């Protein structure tokens, strides 16, 4: 297994679970890095999305209602030039971390050519990851969806099941840590662990 993948409708808690899994993996000794996509709001109104590092120390504008771009997703213009910085960051993080977090793999991110290429490289190389994928990705980009599907389980998150999915995702993430992490995440088997024990 190379990935734990979360999908579902907006507001179901996918990003919250992904960030929580990243913290849990760090507690196992894994090095974890990547990006997530918080909303940009002005006076309570959503006007865009950013891409931020997990630590929050750097952000790039991904899409905004005032971004002039030939790439549009709904009412948002995709800020291709600025968002390209996140592509460079992701590729570096994928090389230096045990596990990479990508939130999300969806129409806005894939509209940025360099970001699409970075995501494809990470996916096709089978880099260990926790990722949120757009609920319609299977129809919008079936080839990429199929490549993701080969890496690990795709868990559907809803408001009704998110606590159960969070526990299930953690079980998968622990398996991912045992296979992918170079630090304590790999070095914490119990004394009686072995083939057939888990």
Domains and CATH numbers, the chain: 3-180 (3.40.50.300)
Sign of the torsion angle spanned by Cα atoms 132, 138, 141, 147: positive
CB atoms within 10 A of CB 161: 15
Token pair of 66 as six digits: 């005032």
CB atoms within 10 A of CB 154: 18
Do residues 71 and 111 lie in contact, with contact meaning Cβ atoms separated by under 8 Å? yes
> Mean pLDDT in runs of 10 for the chain (198 residues)?
95 95 96 96 95 94 93 94 94 95 96 96 96 95 96 96 96 96 49 31
Do residues 89 and 36 lie in contact, with contact meaning Cβ atoms separated by under 8 Å? no
Distance CA 30, CA 27 (A): 7
DSSP track, 11-40: TSSHHHHHHHHHHHHHHTT--EEEEE--EE
Residue 182 has a pLDDT of 74
Do residues 32 and 184 lie in contact, with contact meaning Cβ atoms separated by under 8 Å? no
Residue 187 has a pLDDT of 36
Do residues 107 and 119 lie in contact, with contact meaning Cβ atoms separated by under 8 Å? no
Mode of pairing for the β-strands spanning 32-36 and 99-105: parallel
């Amino acid at each position: 297994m190379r990935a734990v993948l979360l999908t579902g409708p907006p507001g179901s808690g996918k990003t919250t679970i992904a960030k929580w899994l990243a913290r849990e993996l760090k507690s196992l000794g894994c090095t974890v890095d990547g990006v997530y996509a918080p909303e940009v709001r002005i006076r309570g109104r959503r006007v865009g999305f950013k891409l931020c590092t997990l630590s929050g120390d750097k952000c790039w504008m991904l899409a905004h209602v005032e971004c002039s771009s030939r790439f549009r997703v709904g009412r948002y213009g995709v800020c291709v030039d600025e968002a390209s910085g996140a592509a460079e960051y992701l590729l570096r993080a994928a090389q230096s971390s045990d596990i990479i977090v990508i939130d999300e793999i969806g129409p806005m991110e894939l509209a940025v050519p360099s970001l699409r290429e970075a995501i494809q490289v990470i996916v096709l190389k089978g880099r260990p990851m926790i990722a949120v994928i757009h609920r319609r990705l299977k129809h919008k980009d079936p080839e990429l969806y199929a490549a993701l599907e080969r890496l690990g389980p795709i868990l559907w998150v809803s408001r009704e099941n998110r606590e159960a999915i969070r526990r299930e995702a953690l079980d998968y993430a622990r398996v991912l840590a045992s296979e992918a992490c170079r630090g304590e995440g790999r070095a914490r088997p119990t004394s009686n662990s072995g083939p057939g024990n888990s």
